[in-house]
Amino acid sequence: QQQVKQSPQSLIVQKGGISIINCAYENTAFDYFPWYQQFPGKGPALLIAIRPDVSEKKEGRFTISFNKSAKQFSLHIMDSQPGDSATYFCAASRTSYDKVIFGPGTSLSVIP
């Protein structure tokens, strides 16, 4: 059973466009929702994270929107750049220091 669902599986966006990745979860015990960016052959790097008491968090071009009642959250990448081309994973855990459950990932390609 997949605890964290993610869509789309792959995404192609033009440079300067908005990339949107959606995730959903089932376990209401989850209390911490990080997003990770992974380049080929590298480990994942924390991009931005949110807790359920906040509906939106923005850091630079990256914004997380969180809908607690729907158990959904999404990542928006504004002004997408070719350097943003990577695999993005949404994730969830009970706390920031508990084990992280990853979504299946979204491969983002930003074309010039």
Partner 1 sequence: GAVVSQHPSRVICKSGTSVKIECRSLDFQATTMFWYRQFPKQSLMLMATSNEGSKATYEQGVEKDKFLINHASLTLSTLTVTSAHPEDSSFYICSARSGSTTDTQYFGPGTRLTVL
Residues that bind partner 1 (CB under 8 A): 34, 36, 41-46, 49, 89, 95-97, 99-105, 107
Report, in Å, the least distance between residue 91 CB and partner 1: 9
Q: How far is the CB of 57 from partner 1 (least distance, A)?
A: 14
Least distance in Å: CB of 108 to partner 1?
14
Whichever of 19 and 34 has its CB closer to partner 1, that residue is 34
Nearer to partner 1 among residue 10 and residue 14 (C-beta): 10
Q: How many CB atoms lie within 10 A of CB 104?
A: 14
Total count of residues recorded for the chain: 112
Least Å from the CB of residue 58 to partner 1: 18
Which residue lies nearer to partner 1 by CB, 42 or 68?
A: 42
Instruction: Specify the residue, 17 or 51, whose C-beta has the smaller distance to partner 1.
Output: 51
Q: Give the separation between CA 76 and CA 78, rounded to whole angstroms.
A: 6
SS3 assignment, position 32: strand
Of the candidates 102, 105, 98, the one whose C-alpha atom is nearest the C-alpha of residue 29 is: 98
Phi-psi region of 31 (alpha: psi -120 to 50; beta: other; left: phi over 0): alpha
Separation between Cα atoms, residue 79 and residue 61, nearest integer Å: 7
